[in-house]
Amino acid sequence: QSKADGKGRITHFSQDMEQRLLERKALESDLREALSRNHLEVHYQSLHNSHSRKIEGFEALVRWKRHGLHTVSPAEFIPVAERLGLIDELGNWVLREACREAATWPSDLTIAVNLSPVQFRTDKIVQGVLRALSDTGLAPHRLELEITESVLLEASAATLSTLHQLRQLGVRIALDDFGTGYSSLSYLTRFPFDKIKIDRGFVTDISTRASALSVIEMIVQLSNKLGMITTAEGVENEEQLRTLQAVGCTQVQGYLLARPRPAEDLLVKEQRAQGASH
C-alpha cells in the first residue's frame, strides 16, 4: 500500500490498533491467570545504614515471569492490575507474602511494601494490613508502607483518615519517590511521615548537577526538622554514597549495595554476621 493512499493509511492504522488491543487483552488475561495461579513472586532489596552499611531492612518488589519466561516490569503490570480492579488482591498477596517472609528474619529488620494509590480508594487496606500482621505474627513496627504523592493528590479527609488508621496499627509510613511529583513540599505538612525516600533521579545526578545535590541537601535538612528519616534510592556508585553520607542521609538503597533478589537468596543471618553489604 502506498503511503499517499489515504485508505491504506487508515487500514494500517486500524490494524495497528487492533494488534495493540489484542496484545492488551492477552496481557490482561495472563495477569489474571498469574494472580490466580500464584505465579507472581516477591523479590527483596536491602536498605542499608548510610554510614555503617549495615542492613536495616528490605523492600518487597513484586515480580512476574510471564509464561515462566521473560520478566514483565511492575511499572508495566501494576497499572494493568489497577485498571482491571485486581490491585487489591495483588497488593494483599504481596503484603502477606512479604510479612510472612520478614517474620522469619532477625527481629530488628524491617520490611517495606509498596502500596498503590488505588488501594486507598476505600479503607479496606486497613483490614488487609491488620490481617497480614495478625496472620503472620509480624510486629507492626517492623512493617513500613511506601506510598507515593499521588495518594495525597486529593488529600481527602478519607485518605488522611486511612493513613492515620494505618499509623494507629503501629506500622510506619514512608513517602516514596519524593521530589518527582508536583507541589511535593505541601504534602509534608499534611501527614507526619516516618520516612522520605529521595527519588533515584536526584541521586543519579548528584555529582553532575549541582542543583540535584542542593535538592537532596534541602530534603535531608527538612526531614530532620520534621522528625523524618531519609532513604536515598538508586545508589549505584561509591561517589554517590560518599556524598549522601556527607549530607547526612540516613539510609541508602541501590545496586551498589544490592539488587533485588528472591527470598531464598537473601541469606539474611549470614550477611549480618559478617556485617557485609551484599
The one among 4, 75, 157, 273 contacting ligand C2E by CB under 6 A = 75
**80 neighbors 40 (Cβ within 8 angstroms):** no
Assess 61 for contact with ligand C2E (CB under 6 A).
yes
3-class secondary-structure state, position 48: strand
* C-alpha dihedral, 140 to 146 to 98 to 106, nearest 10°: -60
The one among 255, 265, 267, 278 contacting ligand C2E by CB under 6 A = 255
Sites for Mg ion among residues 153-182 (CB under 5 A): 176-177
Q: Residue 82: which of Mg ion, ligand C2E, none does it interact with, CB under 5 to 8 A by kind?
A: none
Amino acid making up residue 72: V
Tell me how far apart the alpha carbons of residues 36 and 32 are, in angstroms, rounded to a whole number: 6
Assess 179 for contact with ligand C2E (CB under 6 A).
no
The one among 88, 97, 101, 176 contacting ligand C2E by CB under 6 A = 176
Lookup: cell for 218: 534541602
Assess 97 for contact with Mg ion (CB under 5 A).
no
Size of the site for ligand C2E (CB under 6 A): 22
Assess 83 for contact with ligand C2E (CB under 6 A).
no
Query: Which residue do the cell numbers 483490614 mark?
Result: 127
**198 neighbors 249 (Cβ within 8 angstroms):** yes
Q: Is the dihedral of CA 178, 184, 190, 192 positive or negative?
A: positive
Phi and psi of 229, rounded to 5°?
-95, 165
The one among 82, 146, 162, 163 contacting Mg ion by CB under 5 A = 146
Assess 114 for contact with Mg ion (CB under 5 A).
yes
**Of 6 and 85, which CB lies nearer to ligand C2E in the complex structure?**
85
Q: Residue 213: which of ligand C2E, Mg ion, none does it interact with, CB under 5 to 8 A by kind?
A: none
Tell me how far apart the alpha carbons of residues 159 and 149 are, in angstroms, rounded to a whole number: 12
Give the binding site for ligand C2E (CB under 6 A).
45, 61-62, 73-75, 78, 91, 94, 114-116, 146, 176-177, 233-236, 254-255, 260
Give the binding site for Mg ion (CB under 5 A).
114, 146, 176-177, 233
